[in-house]
Amino acid sequence: MNKNEIHDIVISKVVSLVDTLPEDKKFSVDQNTTLFGNGSSIDSLSLVSIIVDLETTFSAEYGLDISLTDDKAMMREKSPFESIKSLAEYISELVNDK
């Protein structure tokens, strides 16, 4: 699985979340979309939902058991949850370690 495929999966999960939001809360999604911290368009519960959805998707559809909230993720200097791009890069690292 390459970075582009992972990036597309992350984008699709965020787009799926946006589709459930009321019209006045919807936002555009691209690799620079902020997921956590200043400028984030989603709340912490929505971020947790995306994380669980991604872990489930990678396990069920690709046979890859990854944990996005383990110590490795939390101890990083730069949070993997800052943006779609950083999250996709982190998932790529985890997949390549498997």
Encode pLDDT of 9-55 as tens digits: 999 999 999 999 999 989 999 999 999 988 898 999 999 999 999 99
User: Given this model, what pLDDT does residue 2 score?
Assistant: 92
Domains of the chain: 3-97 (1.10.1200.10)
Encode pLDDT of 59-82 as tens digits: 999 999 999 998 888 888 889 999
User: Given this model, what pLDDT does residue 19 score?
Assistant: 95
Q: Is this structure's pTM higher than 0.75?
A: yes
Q: How far from 48 is each of 1, 36, 41, 43, 53, CA to CA, in Å? A: 24, 11, 14, 9, 8
User: Given this model, what pLDDT does residue 41 score?
Assistant: 84
